[in-house]
Amino acid sequence: MLLPILMTLCPQLASVKRQLNMILLPGTLCLIALLSCYASALQAEELHPSLARISLDSEWRSGAYQSQGVDYTPAASWVDPLDLMVPETMPDDQIRDGLYNLVVDNQYKVDADGKKVQFSHYADVVTAPKGLESVSQIQIEFDPNYQRLQLHSIWVHRAGELIDKSLDADFQLARSQNTDDLMYDGSMVATWVLKDIRVGDILEYSYSRLGSNPVFEGRFFGARSLQWSVPVARQQLRILWGKPKPLNIKVENSELQFTSTRLGTQTDYRLQVEHMPTITASSDAAPWYNPFAKAYFSETNSWKQVVDWGLPLFSRQQQVNEDITMLARQITAKHDSKAEQLVAALSLVQENVRYLGLEMGSNSHFPSAAGDTLSRRYGDCKDKAVLLVTLLGELGVEASPALVNTDTGKMLPAMLPSADRFNHAIVRASLNGNNYWLDPTLMDQGDALEHLYQPDYGFALVLSEDSQELVSMASGASGSRIRFTEEYDFSEGISGVGKANISTLYQGDEARRMRGRIASEGLKALSEQYAGYYGKQFKGLEAIRPLDVLDDKATGEVRLEEAYHLPAPWQADDDGGYTVYVYESQISPYLTLPQGHGRRELALKHPLQIEGTIRLKFRANDWQFDAAVREESNPFFDFHYSVAFDKESNLLTLAYRYQSNTDRVPADRVDEYIAALKKVADTDSYGIIDYNSEVKDAVTQEADASDDDTNMALIVLSAGFVALCAIGFAMASWLIDDGHKASSRYYPVSPLKALLLSLLTFGLYPCYWAYKNWQYVQNELEPGIWPMARAIFAPLWYYHLYLSLANSGDEDKRRWLIPGWLAVLFMILYIGVSATKKLHGMTVLSLLVPALVILPLITYINRLNGHNEAYVYNSRWRWRHWLLTVATLPLLLFVLAQEAGFTASDRVVAGSDLWQRDIKFMKRKAIIAANENPVLFYSDDWLSNQSDGNGFTDARIFSYWREDGVFYQETVPFEAVKNIEVNFAKGDELTTTITVYRDDGSHFLLFAATEARKDRQFVRELLERWRRIRPQGSDNNGEQEQ
């Protein structure tokens, strides 16, 4: 029995990296087991016999829904469906969610009088079970206020057979749940739930929508994507155009062209595409950036024609009534100047007319009358815009509605003119020769017109008689300005209390946003958030007073004042010093590297100006701070950073300034922008170290630390040897202990004792428990078996032991035994954990699983025996158990500490798994830069990651170690690495060796433990980053993984 013990413990002493979250899985399994054991005691309450399930309508084809706008009819004769053709091979590596789109076919028919029919035809093949979830429900949305829906067909192609699924589909017609942003419309959703859809089926269906929104008065326009991130085998976009004037068509991001065929009085515009390449849009792309091919079509020739359409809709609703007149009089009575009256009218519409849109039918673009909006005190953007224009007119201020697009407004000039290019309505007011953009749906803008924040949505279309083109909204009033000062008083020294006073001034959009946060979150919650942020830097931080807010609406400024006590701002490090860090948090969010990939434009907040200082006052000391200035100027932003120290006052000043220069980064200049960000990436934090005179000399301390590590290694090895001896002695004494086996059935024992002994013996006790049970089976039931063999291979014989128990229990007690399927699941889990122990070494999972899977069997055996003499005898804690506890508990605690990350781990770990104290140590030692974090890390030290380690960040490779009391370190950026050689571990070797060669000819070594093949991952990711940064570098010359 000692051989399995040695085989188990030696890997633990060699490699001890563990994941803390692995503790959660055994707990979950235990809960499942307990619930399963006692599930039979729970009785389900009988349902009321008259209760019946509600079904969908399976007779929907009878015409019962015609009055509600839904009908079942063949496709019209003008339709020319795209043929379904199944490719011989499918792009498996591009298919997502278990569906491959075979056909996307959209066709429009527009008559001379503007009547519109839209035909849609789709075919999808189900490639995986996940695709069944979406393809088995066909949902089509339409607005019955002006549209009718006709379903033409639902077919399933299965193994050469064509099945009409419209015959057995269940149907439901329900209101659309589109209530986002407080917008309500009259849309309905028709849903067909299909039966018996299988993987490999091809679902093909078609339908038509008849009619268009009357608010557009027969005008035709639209757009459709021609490219997606998922593959489409065949697609068609066709417009059968019946009007005499030609249709304007524009294809974006592609050289595809429509064909045009004259068919009598109609023109057939058609585009057919097969196997359009897929692309993926980056998650950080600007909201207006569209990399996909897309077709736009519109009969409108100019933006003036859009004005001619929209102006009458808005003008006819700008009627002044008595309420509006009275409101204007009240405003003029309170405010003398036109500027003050304009702001008062804007604030009234923003704050006293809540946002709610009733978008049924023509309401989508036709605003309500100004008087109606005022009386009911709610409306959407166009309703509020009409009310504000009407009120301003009564005040003698010239104003007009304006249409904008909050997402793609910056790209409007490049689009075809049409009424559907806009999603929002605002107001342009003119006063004293100046134009002001007013959004009546915004809040908290302030009271002074000269400081009023004005939104910039790119371009706007003003609805006025003289409006001809789009107008740029760019303005200095659409930006923000932030000024901050942070003052830290550390003059009481290392053991003293510090103070922090922080002042932040917001103007423009940032002031408006801050007012909104205070209103929505509350001042108390905001105070706690701010204190929590600084509390992460300074332990025990206490707020001297709540967050103080000074809102000067006359200047449009919002000032926040914070004051904190810092009981222990300095933190001891491992070098005998004390450190404190400060972080700049206003500019740094705008200097973070983009997270996406691929070609895309980036949106920048603009105009934006931020400037501020961080001042730190220290105790009298011979401080040495190098003056520094960092400046970066480029087409995207200007940045200034400086460090200055006044020795007379012991005051360190960090100064920052940021000025945006543009609102976007073009796709072909993203690399240039990223390079500029990297130049200033390490300016967001600053660390200071102070030494206490009572601290030992650094070299002496490091030597002591090295001796301590050596001593600790000897202690751990000695503890391991003692534990082995104790486990061996305990197992031997257990084997010769007959107990009270004659008075019991199987081997009863306390579950708690079994669990504790399983942990203290590092998972061996379940084998002993199995041996005692098989010994009973041999003596009483099956004389020919060999108990020792079945104990050694306990996981394989787990289910057989379960069957033996199931066949021996009384009927009334058998209900306490777990079901057979769960026993099979436990056996598989038991075998899996045992089989992988060789690969992953000893883990908390490998310790707990054997104990947890036998607990249900222990419970059942105890039920068979009751609290008889054998149960009492076997459950008693004896002297050998105490000896085992004293010998193995320290080693067990050491193992758990390694798994939780409290001590060093002899295994490759992710940088995110390192404790912050270790990462700060690397930054203080300049092993890595302040803005970097390790990607992968390895240390072969017994206790501390600060004594030995190597790894790499996204920018550099590093290694450090202590030898003879001296600390050594090596570091090199990837761009300065000439070559990397790898020698993978062979045979019984525990580590892979990596040699890093610099351009100057020098080199140093890295090591990576082989446990769980993490050395392969270490090498692979290291080489990937090196080749990405320096692609001309030579290939790895070392041994490669086969």
Same domain, 443 and 548: no
Same domain, 359 and 469: yes
The reported pLDDT for the residue numbered 517 is 92
Closest CA to 953 of 970, 937, 941: 937
Q: Is 707 inside a domain boundary?
A: no
964 by Cβ neighbours in 10 Å (0-12 / 13-18 / 19+) ranks as exposed
Same domain, 112 and 261: yes
Among 474, 492, 509, where does a domain finish? 474
Closest CA to 951 of 960, 943, 963: 960
List CB contacts of 76: < 8 A, sequence separation 6 or more: 109, 117, 119, 208
Among 299, 327, 342, where does a domain finish? 299
Same domain, 486 and 590: yes
Task: Provide mean pLDDT across the span 471-480.
Answer: 89
Closest CA to 125 of 196, 235, 234, 201: 201
The reported pLDDT for the residue numbered 61 is 77
User: Which CATH number do you get for residue 493?
Assistant: 2.60.120.1130
Instruction: Give the pLDDT band (50/70/90) at residue 45.
Output: very low
Domain count, the chain: 5
Tell me the pTM.
Answer: 0.63
Q: Is 51 inside a domain boundary?
A: no
Interval 626-651: pLDDT, tens: 899 999 999 999 999 999 999 999 99
User: Which CATH number do you get for residue 446?
Assistant: 3.10.620.30
Question: Which amino acid is located at 659 in the chain?
Answer: Q
Start-to-end CA distance of the chain, whole Å, equals: 37
Poorest-pLDDT segment among 31-35, 245-249, 556-560, 1018-1022: 31-35
User: Which CATH number do you get for residue 921?
Assistant: 2.30.29.30
Question: Which amino acid is located at 879 in the chain?
Answer: W
Same domain, 792 and 933: no
Same domain, 267 and 373: no
Find residue 431's DSSP bridge partners.
Answer: 434
Closest CA to 484 of 472, 499, 501: 501
Same domain, 501 and 431: no
Q: Is 521 inside a domain boundary?
A: yes
Instruction: Give the pLDDT band (50/70/90) at residue 889.
Output: confident
Q: Residue 732 pLDDT > 60, yes or no?
A: no
Contact status, residue 140 vs residue 152, Cβ threshold 8 Å: no
Poorest-pLDDT segment among 293-297, 523-527, 812-816: 812-816
Same domain, 379 and 469: yes
Which of 213-217, 714-718, 908-912, 987-991 tops mean pLDDT? 213-217
Question: Checking phi first, is residue 744 left (phi over 0); if not, alpha (psi -120 to 50) or beta?
Answer: beta
- For residue 732, give the 3-state DSSP assignment: helix
Same domain, 812 and 678: no
Say how far apart CA 822 and CA 36 lie, in whole Å: 8
The reported pLDDT for the residue numbered 944 is 82
Q: Residue 767 pLDDT > 90, yes or no?
A: no
Same domain, 182 and 74: yes
Q: Is 924 inside a domain boundary?
A: yes
Say how far apart CA 804 and CA 808 lie, in whole Å: 6
Say how far apart CA 310 and CA 682 lie, in whole Å: 52
Closest CA to 110 of 296, 246, 313: 246
Task: Kindly list the distances between the CA atom of residue 980 and the CA atoms of 151, 1011, 1023, in Å, as whole numbers in the listed order.
Answer: 64, 22, 8
User: Which CATH number do you get for residue 106?
Assistant: 2.60.40.3140
Interval 943-972: pLDDT, tens: 788 889 999 999 999 999 888 777 788 999
Q: Scan for tokens 């049409």, then name that residue.
A: 418
Interval 406-449: pLDDT, tens: 999 999 999 999 999 999 999 999 999 999 999 999 988 777 88
Same domain, 459 and 568: no
Contact status, residue 392 vs residue 449, Cβ threshold 8 Å: no
Q: Is 711 inside a domain boundary?
A: no
Task: Provide mean pLDDT across the span 766-774.
Answer: 87
Same domain, 224 and 327: no
Q: Is 892 inside a domain boundary?
A: no
Task: Provide mean pLDDT across the span 245-263.
Answer: 95
Q: Average model confidence (pLDDT) for the chain?
A: 85
The reported pLDDT for the residue numbered 1013 is 84
**For the stretch 145-159, what's the b/e string if a residue is b when 16 or more beta carbons lie within 10 angstroms of its beta carbon?**
bbbbbbbbbbbbbee
Instruction: Give the pLDDT band (50/70/90) at residue 902.
Output: low
- Tell me the residue range of the domain where 966 lies: 904-1029
Q: Is 710 inside a domain boundary?
A: no
Q: Residue 197 pLDDT > 90, yes or no?
A: yes
Q: Is 676 inside a domain boundary?
A: yes
